[in-house]
Structure 1
Amino acid sequence: MEYTVMMPAAGSGQRMGAGYNKLFLELDDKPILIHTLDVFEKDPACVGMILAVKPAERERIQSMLTQFSITKVKALVAGGSERQQSVAACIRAHGEGGIVLVHDAARPFISQSVIYELVQVAKEHGAAIAGVQAKDTMKFAPVGIVEETVDRSKLWIIQTPQAFQYTVLQKAAEKAEAEAFLGTDESMLVERLGHPVRIVESTYDNVKMTTQEDLVFGEILLRRRQGNKDDSSRTRF
């Protein structure tokens, strides 16, 4: 089943402490962004990618795509100050229907099997999101005082990709924009339509590269996936 990927890539490196877009940081001599794009570049079912980028970074990103032979990016659109605005720009640039995946550009360790299941579930039901069940004890403490210990068996930690029939996502985004509603992810916008969103179980490896600690974990994941026991590779800051 074919799909298109929409990827907000206009963030900053604030929490990473990099002083610039964290997607340009390198793991094993390759930018995080390229590691993520490469997952979809190598998937025959992926028919295209749309990236929302900062206009000032467009030229640099285009150069990276050429350098690392990423050929499936069909548009670089101007990203907004909020993730939701960036995804909305991707939605407008696509306009071709079918199944679309929204994926964090800083999640390079998504597995192919999870992608395939998301696409199939979205095709059948309209909306599917990747997630893992909470492992730790969860407390509800809105003002710093515990009011309740929450049943963690009912809680999911949500990741990306999030997969949708294009028309479902488009309608959800347009409704949010018309009502000046800002959500935390695309699933939240779809939920506001009253449309059911199904969860596809992902893996705990599918981490988002947000802090320096994540980068250390990312190096370990890369070496494990590549079967590389050599510790000579280092993250560049």
Structure 2
Amino acid sequence: MVAIGVVILAAGIGKRMNSTTPKQFLELLKKPILIHSLEVFEQHPLISQISVVTNEASYNHVEHLIQKYHLKKVKRIVMGGKERQNSVYAGVTATPTEWVLVHDAVRAFVTADEITTLIQAVNENQPAATLAVPVKDTIKRVNEFGIVEETLNRKELWIIQTPQMFDRELLLGAHQRAESQDVLATDDAMLVEMLGDSVKVVRGEYTNIKITTPDDIFLGEAILAKRRKGSVQTT
């Protein structure tokens, strides 16, 4: 079996959270959000190693948490860059596996089943894939004056999530080309698309939310509490 590594992005400061604590270190049910994310990959049998990307101010704290929660698959802590894209490149460069998953630390609710499904979707002929969910609402394109210009076809629209999975060399090449052209993308799949390669969309779960605002903390705790309750009932 080929080696699969994971890059966890935990270098953000979370301005929209209105907290002096970076959101990846806020707690859900008395455990840091970062640890919730890491433990899913730590316990997944197909994942061989993990790299955590952070910043200088948080480096020691990340190191402490990894030791405290006995995360054996975390092989390195990597210093991130100014932008998310720079942090991804640093993390992927430091992760010497044939395949790599890129995941936001604040998406603490991805499940082992979703990760497995994503891994099964990639191969030599399909070297990139991302979790996503179909848009539920009607989406309209609006001009600068607040006037609707077009109602988009909801059947063609998906909300992109992480993790995203790539052939490592393909992803590195996509990042290098973007840097040479001074392109800043919103996600790594976009960089691969710009190379002309296709990205497979793998249906995920709507519960794989990204913690961004204070309201997300309450929703996140509800998701975890429901899962724990279900686990107890089925044991």
TM-score, normalising length: structure 2:
0.93
| 2:132/2:202 contact within 8 Å kept | yes
Cα distance in 2 between the residues matched to 1:120 and 1:126: 11
1:217 matched residue in structure 2: 219
Aligned to 1:90: 91
Q: Aligned AA for 1:171?
A: G
Q: State the shift of 1:226 in Å.
A: 0.5
Quick one: which amino acid aligns to residue 175 of structure 2? A
Deviation at 1:127, TM superposition (A): 0.5
Query: How far does the alpha carbon of each residue in 1:55-98 deviate from its partner, in whole angstroms, 9 at most, with x for none?
Result: 1211111001111111111111111121000001012112x341
Helix, strand or coil for the counterpart of 2:104? coil
> What does 1:167-178 align with in structure 2 at a 5 Å threshold?
167-178=169-180
1:158-189: per-residue Cα shift (whole Å, max 9, x none)?
00010011111111011111111110000010
SS at match of 1:59: helix
The amino acid across from 2:161 in the alignment is: Q
Q: After superposition, where does 1:146-225 map in structure 2 within 5 Å?
A: 146-225=148-227
Say whether residues 1:45 and 2:41 are aligned partners: no
Question: Where in structure 2 are the equivalents of 1:1-237 lying within 5 Å?
Answer: 2-94=3-95, 96-124=96-124, 125-143=126-144, 144-227=146-229
Give the gaps of 5 or more residues in structure 2. Answer: 231-235
Q: CA deviation at 1:20?
A: 2.5
Task: Kindly state the Cα deviation for residue 25 of structure 1 after the two structures are TM-superposed.
Answer: 0.4
- Contact 1:50-1:74 at 8 Å conserved across structures: yes
Give the 3-state SS of the residue equivalent to 2:184 in structure 1: coil
Runs of 4+ with deviation above 3 angstroms: none
1:19 partner SS: coil
The answer to whether the 8 A contact 1:141-1:147 is kept is yes
State the AA in 2 paired with 1:84. Answer: Q
Structure 1 residues 107 and 171: CA distance shift in structure 2, 3 A: same
One-letter amino acid matched to 2:101: L
Q: Could you state the TM-score of these two structures normalised by the residue count of structure 1?
A: 0.93
Q: Which moved more, 1:62-71 or 1:114-123?
A: 114-123
Aligned residue number for residue 232 of structure 1: none
Quick one: distance in 2 between partners of 1:105 and 1:127? 20
Q: What is the rounded CA distance, in whole Å, between the counterparts of 2:226 and 2:57 in structure 1?
A: 35
Q: Is the 8 A contact 1:102 1:162 kept in 2?
A: yes
CA distance in 2, matches of 1:114, 1:28: 22
Q: Do the aligned partners of 2:8 and 2:103 also contact (CA within 8 Å) in 1?
A: yes
Alignment check: 8 A CA contact 1:99 1:122 kept = no
Contact 2:5 2:97 (C-alpha < 8 Å) held by counterparts: no
The letter for the 2-side match of 1:22 is K
Aligned length: 227
Shift of 1:155: 0.3
CA drift of 1:114 comes to 1.7
In structure 1, the residue matched to 2:233 is none
Distance in 1, matches of 2:170 and 2:143, equals 33
